[in-house]
């Protein structure tokens, strides 16, 4: 490799307002026109983006101490239960939590119009939220219940902590059965009526950094319209998935655990969403900057939709019951064309993750960096990669035998 830059050099250029920053979409044509080496010399940073439903998200909140004090053990925000099994007035509100009174799927398919993700959106939007809290009372925390209104600005700390975001690639969901099904991949019409997918393809963070050379623990990112960080690798992180010769996984692979200050976020990029018959999720905007340290990193960041493949999975039987494998492989250019062929049938496609919004995120991040407001961070540690041997394990259900305690 002929080009070699460091984080320090790039950050110096950013601070001076001299850095050349392009989005993961713009870089494709640049590389096609100027070649890899020339572009690697010129471009300092490539910005990525994604705006899709990410169920494994939530917020830690410290709501402040009342007088008399209270060790809250049950907390509801707009009727949605927040986990209070931590310190006195700390809670964790999960995106997919629904109010206890929600009929869920008792009236199938349930609507799930409001849940944890919507509370998070309301908080970020600065709205008042009704809080109820209950406790058993202690000598140091005597209060047993309270009811109040609270806003994000009233809280001491509020930070998002998402155990699994930014999936590196994801399945295409279809339905082989003869009835409609309601899934986290949206409504899937019977007999291959539609095929839904959910990544931003060539703009997606980890598809542009397939071996996690730029993305690691401590990487500063765009999260929900504010600044966030990669805190760990995400749950179900599966770097050893099957890959193409460009090292890009052909199936769901790496994930990231992300954190960021809720108070700096924008409700435009933190949206509660409802999947009919499935539940509530959070659409969250994520953008990761990739420093172009050399040609190799640029080659990865210049990936195109037609070079990224994923698997078509049946969500009527295949996914829920672990039956059968992939129904075929498609690339993102095919998916974005609006139709794909599955079992000789032309099937219309729809994304659940917004491409134009992903592009907007990449552009916002680009402008932050161009203005010198956002410096890049070198990961303090790498996340497990292809050489880690790390794989996703299924849960084996074992027979719990009666203990023979009383047999001499």
Partner 1 sequence: MMAKHKIVLLFPAAVVEQPFLYHLVKDYNLFVNIIRANINPRKEGRLVMELAGEQEDYDAGINFLESRGVTVMPFEQQVKWNEDRCTQCGACTVICPTDALKMIRPEMIVEFDESKCIVCEHCFKACPARAIVAHY
Is residue 337 within the footprint of partner 1 (CB under 8 A)? yes
Residues between 279 and 308 with contacts to partner 1, criterion CB under 8 A? 281, 283
Q: Tell me: does residue 235 bind partner 1 (CB under 8 A).
A: no
Q: How far apart are CA 280 and CA 288, in angstroms?
A: 25
**Contact call for residues 153 and 125 (beta carbons, < 8 A):** no
Cβ closer to partner 1: 162 or 377? 162
CB nearer partner 1, residue 133 or residue 361: 361
- Of the pair 110, 216, the CB lying nearest partner 1 is at 110
Answer for which of 309, 315, 355, 374 binds partner 1 (CB under 8 A) is 355
Smallest gap from Cβ 330 to partner 1, in A, equals 15
Most distant CA pair in the chain, distance: 82
**Binding status of residue 113 toward partner 1 by CB under 8 A:** yes
**Smallest gap, in angstroms, from Cβ of residue 323 to partner 1?**
24
Cβ neighbours of residue 134 closer than 8 Å, sequence gap 6 or more: 72, 73, 74, 75, 144, 145
Per CB under 8 A, 255 contacts partner 1: no
Residue 388 CB, shortest distance to partner 1, in Å, is 33
Instruction: Please give the Cα distance from 303 to 261 (Å, whole number).
Output: 31
The residues in 195-224 that bind partner 1, with binding defined as CB under 8 A, are 196
* The one segment of 54-62, 127-135, 334-342, 370-378 that binds partner 1 by CB under 8 A: 334-342
Residues annotated as catalytic (active site), given as ranges: 140
* Binding status of residue 394 toward partner 1 by CB under 8 A: no
Q: Convert residues 51-90 into a mask of x (bound to partner 1 by CB under 8 A) and - (unbound).
A: xxx-------------------------------------
Query: Does residue 320 touch partner 1 according to CB under 8 A?
Result: no
Q: Does 189 bind partner 1 (CB under 8 A)?
A: yes
Stretch of 36-44, 108-116, 166-174, 315-323 contacting partner 1, by CB under 8 A: 108-116
Q: Tell me the closest approach of the beta carbon of residue 193 to partner 1, in angstroms.
A: 8
Query: Would you state the structure tokens that stand for residue 25, as one six-digit string?
Result: 């979409």
- Return residues touching partner 1 (CB under 8 A): 51-53, 109, 111, 113, 186-187, 189, 193-194, 196, 271, 273-276, 281, 283, 336-338, 348-357
């Amino acid at each position: 490799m002929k080009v070699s830059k460091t984080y320090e050099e790039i950050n110096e250029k950013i601070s001076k307002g001299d850095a050349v920053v392009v989005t993961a979409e713009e870089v494709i044509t640049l590389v096609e026109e100027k070649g890899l080496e020339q572009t690697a010399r010129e471009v300092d940073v490539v910005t990525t983006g994604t705006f899709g439903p990410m169920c494994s998200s939530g917020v830690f909140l410290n709501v402040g101490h009342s007088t008399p004090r209270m060790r809250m053990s049950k907390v509801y925000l707009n009727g949605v239960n927040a986990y209070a099994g931590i310190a006195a007035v700390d809670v964790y509100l999960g995106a997919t939590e629904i109010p206890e009174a929600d009929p869920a799927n008792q009236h199938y398919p349930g609507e799930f119009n409001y849940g944890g993700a919507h509370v998070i959106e309301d908080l970020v939007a600065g709205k008042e939220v009704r809080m109820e809290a209950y406790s058993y009372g202690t000598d140091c925390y005597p209060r047993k219940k309270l009811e109040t209104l609270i806003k994000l600005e009233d809280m001491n700390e509020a930070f998002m902590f998402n155990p699994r975001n930014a999936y590196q690639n994801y399945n295409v969901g279809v339905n082989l059965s003869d009835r409609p099904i309601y899934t986290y991949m949206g409504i899937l019409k019977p007999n291959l009526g539609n095929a839904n997918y959910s990544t931003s393809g060539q703009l997606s963070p980890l598809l542009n950094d397939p071996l996690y050379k730029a993305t690691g623990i401590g990487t500063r990112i765009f999260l929900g319209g504010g600044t966030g960080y990669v805190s760990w690798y995400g749950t179900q992180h599966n770097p050893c998935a099957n890959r193409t010769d460009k090292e890009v996984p052909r199936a769901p692979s790496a994930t990231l655990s992300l954190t960021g200050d809720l108070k700096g976020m924008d409700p435009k990029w933190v949206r509660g969403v409802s999947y009919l018959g499935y539940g509530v999720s959070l659409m969250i905007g994520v953008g990761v900057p990739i420093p172009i340290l050399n040609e190799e990193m640029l080659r990865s960041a210049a990936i195109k939709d037609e070079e990224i493949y994923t698997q078509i999975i049946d969500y009527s039987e295949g996914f829920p019951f672990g039956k059968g494998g992939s129904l075929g492989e498609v690339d993102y250019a095919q998916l974005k064309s609006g139709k794909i062929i599955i079992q000789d049938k032309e099937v219309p496609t729809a994304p659940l993750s917004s491409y134009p919004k992903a592009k907007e995120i990449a552009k916002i991040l680009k402008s932050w960096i161009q203005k010198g407001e956002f410096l890049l961070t070198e990961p303090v540690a790498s996340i497990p990669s292809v050489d880690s041997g790390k794989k996703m394990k299924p849960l084996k259900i074992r027979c719990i035998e009666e203990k023979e305690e009383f047999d001499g």
